[in-house]
Structure 1
């Protein structure tokens, strides 16, 4: 059995490697014969062997938008995701990579040691590629319990996707749009993944939000896939605000931080590595994006959450312009409803997107102790400077929210 178990793992890892080698070889072969971007109009010059593929890919590149929101936990990605979810022509999925992570997290310690980071990222990319192709049945490889007749009741945060809570997938009460996620969880039962795939194909575009890709360089293979014409919206936030939000949301994991914040005494159990890793990933990803590598040309836009929260209409228009779509009236109405909420409403549900967005942007300054802020500034100094967030040198500076810590800094899309 020991030999058999190792053999299976080796075969799985080898299979992943072979898949991606084949994909890259095919991509290189096709792109060497098929013109890209604005040159698609010259299709008649293409080798007849590749003509049909080129025609399909060129049409896809011009018509269908594949959007990826890349972010880290508690950086405002749920809010940004809803700006795409509300568009009637977009099929939106909230964190589908969660299911891959769960399979890995629930596996034995021995298997976690064997399946390395590259294999996990390969699984992530493989799932994303299939989802962008509207193959939601591919998720069945990661759902527990295994779906019967392609139906599942364990689709993570199904209610965060309007398309999965509307006919023909669900016939729930559509009167209260603000409570759609909660109603969907109660009223919509099993999700038929085959039917969901068909619904996906009826939508002109697709958007996926994830906080489970560590760095943007991990998306290179997807970015280079000519069938996708991928548009990456990289959402970032002040790491001090990220930490404050995590402390308020994930109480059990940040209990030591909360004790430190309340008492001023730092417990020995405080784990600094998580926020340090977050800042390192941010710094590396932003550095890659701003260095403008050829594989990101026309595909990368950096967005600071604070600017989106303060001027949601303006920033949403910029994001949609980059993607190549018009802002639908449903999106505008949603922004109006969901950026003028009260702080009390925001506390009722930790993942709510209804709040006073302007007040939320830097509210962490009233909640974090100066000692914790100093610690984060020390750990994340390079990241804060890179992203244009000012440091504070005193408690008075920290609490003076009339002076924003978000510097005026332009991050133009890489086109």
Structure 2
């Protein structure tokens, strides 16, 4: 059968297009990485995730199956309130915990800190803020905000590649010979308090001191060798960073879209009334006028209302953007309510780790059990403590705030409360009646 010259041209063009696509695909990602080393949890633009490894799901301490052919298989559904692709740790995952101060971010960060394959960093952007905007926690000036966010994004990108020396530029005084004793909250990271970073690590019976008394790590380990820390970062499969210094998830768009990073964002939210109550107790000087209002029933004329207004504005803007499910956040964004985690820590942690492609190791489960059954009084005495009765702590703010402060907060934060499923109260009896929860049962399904 003869073909016209037009048909021949069309066939030739189609052939060229197919070859070009294939060349681009295999030059960008070697064939071995497509399955045998498979990304596993990568999301195809127009299709479901495919697991190219044999992984374990759900339960604590489950290990990856060994001795089996890691051929591609269809994803299975874990037993949780939403479906996520199965666990596959064959590709490095970078996790950013996006939160605000006193929203439970230290607790969530420690979940990752207990994982033996995760390199965890506590608030590295603290140093960026301290160097660029030393007097402002969250600058509202557009020019200053651009400078801060630009530097923060550059540093986060470097940290994802384990280029920890980039952090040295912001540490004051500047590290000498890549050694410093000024890294903010070093003791909150196990990876920075154990070999190869620390030459005098804590004994197995003393590991709890890393969290209970962060200063113990610094005393035993001495100055931090940034080069050794970078080596430890490269040896771990995954990296997690906690920050309260990125106000909006859209500020991370360039990082999320970078295919080299495999960055996933966990946006942690909490009832703003609970955030305010915690800040009043924790930052006594900064929130002195709020305590005066609570004690006297009269709102001071010079009270900085922006201390709670800004929280609700930033949360509402960021959460609305995430829940709008833009294409660039597909498979990269999870909204987590602190109250849900506090009520069911094991279940929510399994769901969280499933979404991220991490196994729930025995050490993570053990830490949860040890840190969610403590006394609420103990957590109140420790500014950044994580040992508490988590379920009781979630709504303990109802015993701490006055009715008029709650009414004001509800008024300015009403759109956020509605969006996140937090109930309002209309009289003092509802406020103190802890048998009536102010947290609606609601599931925020990840965008997969």
- Report the structure, 1 or 2, having the larger helix content: 1
Structure 2 partner of 1:172: 201
Cα deviation per residue 1:70-125 (whole Å; 9 max; x = unaligned)?
011100000000011100000000000000000012499xxx97953122111000
Note the 1:241-280 alignment, pairs <5 A.
Answer: 241-280=274-313
The alpha carbon displacement at 1:258 in A equals 0.5
Separation (CA, whole Å) in 1 of partners of 2:113 and 2:27: 32
- Which of 73, 88, 110 is equivalent to 2:101? 73
* SS at 2:267 equivalent: strand
Quick check: 1:47 aligned with 2:35? Answer: no
- Which of 129, 149, 152 is equivalent to 1:121? 149
* SS at 2:29 equivalent: helix
- Which of 173, 176, 197 is equivalent to 2:230? 197
Note the 1:124-139 alignment, pairs <5 A.
Answer: 124-139=152-167
Separation (CA, whole Å) in 1 of partners of 2:157 and 2:179: 21
Structure 2 partner of 1:64: 92
Cα deviation per residue 1:195-224 (whole Å; 9 max; x = unaligned)?
110110000000000000010010100010
Separation (CA, whole Å) in 2 of partners of 1:214 and 1:106: 17
Structure 2 partner of 1:10: none
The alpha carbon displacement at 1:288 in A equals 0.5
* SS at 1:209 equivalent: strand
The alpha carbon displacement at 1:226 in A equals 0.4
CA contact (8 A) 1:238 1:389 kept: yes
The alpha carbon displacement at 1:178 in A equals 2.5
Separation (CA, whole Å) in 2 of partners of 1:405 and 1:326: 32
Quick check: 1:331 aligned with 2:331? Answer: no
* SS at 1:47 equivalent: helix
The alpha carbon displacement at 1:44 in A equals 10
CA contact (8 A) 2:372 2:387 kept: yes
5+ residue gaps in structure 1? 1-41
Separation (CA, whole Å) in 2 of partners of 1:225 and 1:293: 15
CA contact (8 A) 1:57 1:226 kept: no
Structure 2 partner of 1:156: 184
The alpha carbon displacement at 1:228 in A equals 1.3
In our comparison, the structure showing a higher alpha carbon Rg is 2
TM-score (norm 2): 0.79
Quick check: 1:302 aligned with 2:340? Answer: no
Structure 1 partner of 2:411: 378
Note the 1:314-393 alignment, pairs <5 A.
Answer: 314-393=347-426
* SS at 1:270 equivalent: coil
5+ residue gaps in structure 2? 1-17, 41-90
Cα deviation per residue 1:251-305 (whole Å; 9 max; x = unaligned)?
1100000111112121122111121111011001110111000000000110000
TM-score (norm 1): 0.85
CA contact (8 A) 2:194 2:202 kept: no
Shift of the 261–113 alpha-carbon distance from structure 1 to 2, 3 Å rule, reads: closer
CA contact (8 A) 1:65 1:229 kept: yes
